[in-house]
Amino acid sequence: MTQTLPTAAVLGARAFAALAGLNRFSDEPGKLTRLYLSPAHRQAAEWTRGAMEVAGLSAHIDAAGSVQGRREGAKPGAPSVMIGSHIDTVKDGGRFDGNLGVVAGILVAQALRDAGIVLPFPLEVVAFGDEENVRFPTSLSTSRALAGEYRQEWLDGRDTDGITLRDALLGFGCDPLGIPALARPPASVAAYLELHIEQGPVLEAEDEPVGIVTAINAQKRARVRVTGEAGHAGTVPMRLRRDALAAAAEMALALEEIASAHDQAVGTVGVFRPDPGATNVVPGAVDFTIDFRCPRNDTLASMDRAIATRFAEIAERRGVSLAISPYSHDDATPMAEPLQEALAAGIARTGANLKARRLPSGAGHDAMAMARLCPAAMLFVRNEKGISHSPLEAMTEADAGIAIRVMLETVLELARRAA
């Protein structure tokens, strides 16, 4: 049956051609900027609907602005397999982030239709519109609409021009009152699969074109304030100092050490502001942020305890005071094991002698929202430079082709299991 399917090379070429079409729509000339419900988003949604229809899907733009395509299977009304990602971007973003996942879904549907394959389940392809959450104060609102977790208060949120989400939806041609009805009934979706460019350098470093996501990481963020005593840089002897910067520097290194010692964890100090911040003054205080993530909630809790203990020990020894104020905490979203296995089978069936490399996702995705509704899994594609949210984001056509071929084989694997 697979003899009639397009090769990875063909799929790669089709994907790059499709991306060239889709990515002509931008809110800023010379850059790829496509914010939720913008004119460029509207054009991209129409393009996506057209592509879906030509690929054999029936398609519409839903009440939240997502493009939904569907092709019925052998058993109408059976739980569907859904392939999705997003077509909104950050400002001056990359070409692959989100867009490639949508194109992949369309190309998989097209290949199956062209090969005359009737699946035992409906195949859906969805292009979400609000994954980057750049324009409005929302959180994955378009995929949460399908998952039944839309928050009505989002509609009153405003963009920087003062336009509410409600008005922006109306302007886009959507009916905000129709959003609650987008919620899919439990068990109506059997699997959500998302192909996405890796937003880091792991696959590039290990020379693997694709990887299977194990979980979307648990994450905690906190603001930390260390208060010592300001002093003259020339006149306060070292032994009499309570140098807030030295204490905070030691804490930054402790976080690095703790993250390195926990499985698949990361830890980052990104903001670091000494007060007063003058060459000839021993800093009296430092404000800094910590951000730490890992695939398991219990590992995150262990890191949290280690950080509290080590920071307190450093503060005590140096005679400075310490305040840790957490302001964000997300549990891990494990990806469904059976779908990870299906992706691994899909990888094996490409015959390309690829490893089924497993890795966590350090960034959020629509799959986080969909995992509340149904089993969900993700396939990462190698990012040539590991750079994300930037026009420097890069991928080879060959890798895109391999990844889409894996998605195709994975859908066929699920069909085999359903049969």
**x-or-dash string of contact with a copy of itself, 79-118, rule CB under 8 A:** ----------------------------------------
Taking the least distance from each CB to a copy of itself, the nearer of 39 and 386 is: 386
Q: Does 205 bind a copy of itself (CB under 8 A)?
A: yes
Backbone angles phi, psi at 91, to 5 degrees: -70, 130
Q: How many residues bind a copy of itself (CB under 8 A)?
A: 57
Spatial separation of the C-alpha atoms in residues 3 and 20, rounded to whole Å: 28
Q: Does 267 bind a copy of itself (CB under 8 A)?
A: yes
Taking the least distance from each CB to a copy of itself, the nearer of 4 and 260 is: 260
Nearest to 193 by CA among 414, 386, 26: 414
Spatial separation of the C-alpha atoms in residues 304 and 218, rounded to whole Å: 12
Q: Does 293 bind a copy of itself (CB under 8 A)?
A: yes
Regarding beta strands 210-216 and 358-361, do their DSSP bridges make them parallel or antiparallel, or are they unpaired? parallel
Q: State the minimum distance, in angstroms, from the CB of residue 96 to a copy of itself.
A: 14
Q: Does 308 bind a copy of itself (CB under 8 A)?
A: no
**The two structure tokens encoding residue 241:** 């100092």
* Helix/strand/coil for 101: helix
Taking the least distance from each CB to a copy of itself, the nearer of 52 and 266 is: 266
Taking the least distance from each CB to a copy of itself, the nearer of 179 and 202 is: 202
Q: Does 207 bind a copy of itself (CB under 8 A)?
A: no
On whether the CB atoms of residues 377 and 339 are closer than 8 A, the answer is yes
Spatial separation of the C-alpha atoms in residues 61 and 56, rounded to whole Å: 16
Residues 344-363 that bind a copy of itself (CB under 8 A): 361-363
Please tell me what DSSP assigns to residue 32: -
Q: State the minimum distance, in angstroms, from the CB of residue 356 to a copy of itself.
A: 18
Residue from 100, 117, 259, 374 in contact with a copy of itself (CB under 8 A): 259
Q: What is the CA radius of gyration of the chain?
A: 24
Spatial separation of the C-alpha atoms in residues 194 and 213, rounded to whole Å: 10
Q: Does 201 bind a copy of itself (CB under 8 A)?
A: yes
Q: State the minimum distance, in angstroms, from the CB of residue 220 to a copy of itself.
A: 12
Residue from 245, 285, 303, 407 in contact with a copy of itself (CB under 8 A): 245
Spatial separation of the C-alpha atoms in residues 380 and 209, rounded to whole Å: 8
**x-or-dash string of contact with a copy of itself, 221-240, rule CB under 8 A:** x---------xxxxxxxxxx
Q: Does 284 bind a copy of itself (CB under 8 A)?
A: no
Q: Which residues pair with 328 in a beta bridge?
A: 221
Residue from 110, 299, 333, 388 in contact with a copy of itself (CB under 8 A): 388
Spatial separation of the C-alpha atoms in residues 359 and 132, rounded to whole Å: 22
Burial grade of 269 (CB within 10 A; 0-12, 13-18, 19 or more)? middle
Give me the residues that bind a copy of itself (CB under 8 A), please: 198-202, 205, 217, 219, 221, 231-240, 243, 245-246, 248-250, 252-253, 256, 259-260, 264-274, 277-283, 289, 291, 293, 361-363, 386, 388-389
